[in-house]
Structure 1
Amino acid sequence: MKRSGKITDLFQLRTNKLPKTTDTDNIGNIESVENENVVSTSINFDSQDIGAYINLREKNIILNDLKREQLLTSPWVPPSGYVFPIDNTNKRNLRFQMSWINRFSWLVYSEIEKGALCKFCVLFSNSDTGKGSHEKTKSFVTQPFKKWKNAIEKFNDHENCQYHKLSKERAEYFLSVNYRKQKSVIEVLNSEQARQASENRKKLYSIVETIILCGRLEMSLRGMF
């Protein structure tokens, strides 16, 4: 029987000559693929800054599960005393506040993009979301949020939008599978296959014992005539 794949196979993003992957696809090893040839990119994959990984689908870039886990659990955080750039829109001279990161679990600040991003949506949302998948994701997802006036209100709006909730669910499921807190669908199927194989071995053992006994007694397997 063909062995079932791992849970990461469900999330593998493939390009060129293969069907388009679904929005629940995971991302395999870090690559940039074009016409079956690996092309160079300017992305620093050692970075823990979420801003380095926005718009990956458009760039045909794939991340491995380890990197995703690192970005979800330990993204780059501004050190103590970090001086945030000023947004002088309307001459308010506002800055990003570290307290916001503690208040919103999904919120991260990107030094690369000089703005706020949602780690769940950057890694797990589609570029098209919303009703009928026609709503374009922008602030916090494909573009950093930088306007700090009424920032709390904007954070709450993003937190309550449907595509954010879906991205959060995907991220939580990804981590729970990665941490083995719950079994993936493939693991459940594998467990059932293992149980069935064990039962079949027990039945086969009884059959073999019967055949051996019949042989010792010189009894026909079809019965005595």
Structure 2
Amino acid sequence: MTKLGSKNEPQIETPAKMSSSHSSVTYTDDHDICNFINANLTNSQKIEVLKKLWKPPVECLFPSTKLDGAFCKFCILFQSVDGNVRWGNHQKSGQLCSEKFSNWKHAKEIFNDHNKNKYHLKNMEKAALVSQIIKGNAEKIDLQLDKMKKQEIIENRINLKPIIETVVVCGRQGLALRGHVNSERVIIESESKEDEDQNQVIFRELLKHRATCYDENLKEFLCKSKINAMYTSARIQNEIIDICNGLILENLKSQIKSSLYFSILVYETDDIAYIEQMSICIRFIDLPEYTIKELFLQFVPLQDLTRRGIATAILNFLNSLVLNLNLMRSQGYDGAASMSGKFNSVQAYIRELYPTAIYVHSTAHSLNLAASNSCDFF
């Protein structure tokens, strides 16, 4: 093997100089293109080969002195490593790519067809891009892709911001996010009398109002975005709500931790779908103001309605907030035996693990019982 190139240029190892005779003329060159079939070269080395590529003199009929045939320099240097050239990478390369071309009778037609092939055009694009990168006129491909990704992220954030703000407004005001039409495109400009008279759900009407009045970017996005990337579906709404829930819990968690000690209040109920769930509240002292705060944290669905199952669900939720349960000073429930019983109940199970969490009958539940019983006399 012989090394080519000056001290400042990339070093390429090629076969030793080879001789081939045609018409009593001998040619030798290490940069014969056939020497680089399936060669593993760096981009810098590929550009050097293109610069120093051997060209035959007039007496020589063949562009390769070693194999007496023609090759495509771009497809030799820039085709995939495994030699696959076709779309889908199922067909191996052939003449002009990895095998010599010597059928000169049909050379013109074959050369023209090769120049039109998509894989040949793609390899020419690769060569031009690599050449620009080596010269410093273009950034590396990974940097270009990184910039494109960053730009896509910025655009997605701009498009998502008004949708997130609308979901938050609906959540704060207790307005409906969904209705009879949830998956279709938000109607901004009515194309028919039927579209004009259609009453969309509040969430979609708020988006329409914002896009119509002042937000041109939102208007363009809602009208031209892909049908599977409008970010107004029920799934996206639920994801936004879950993210907001996480942010709110993080804020409340920091308040609770700053006060050290806390108490929990838990009530059981079922929702409109008859799913049993707990509402978990927490009570603590806000130290800067020395005021008592009582905050609602979360609805937690129940899978196991046994005493141990309910207690485990409560503790798992509190652990998910990374609270120190040894600082829990009381636990408040209603007066049901399963919750407040002395020996085999939720409060007994929790107190066994955390003795300082004494049980207190919920005053809110006591007030509710008093009001309910007083009504029996009227």
TM-score, scaled to structure 2: 0.30
Identify the structure with bigger relative contact order (alpha carbons < 8 Å, sequence gap 6+): 1
Greater gyration radius: 2
In terms of fraction of residues, the more strand-rich structure is 2
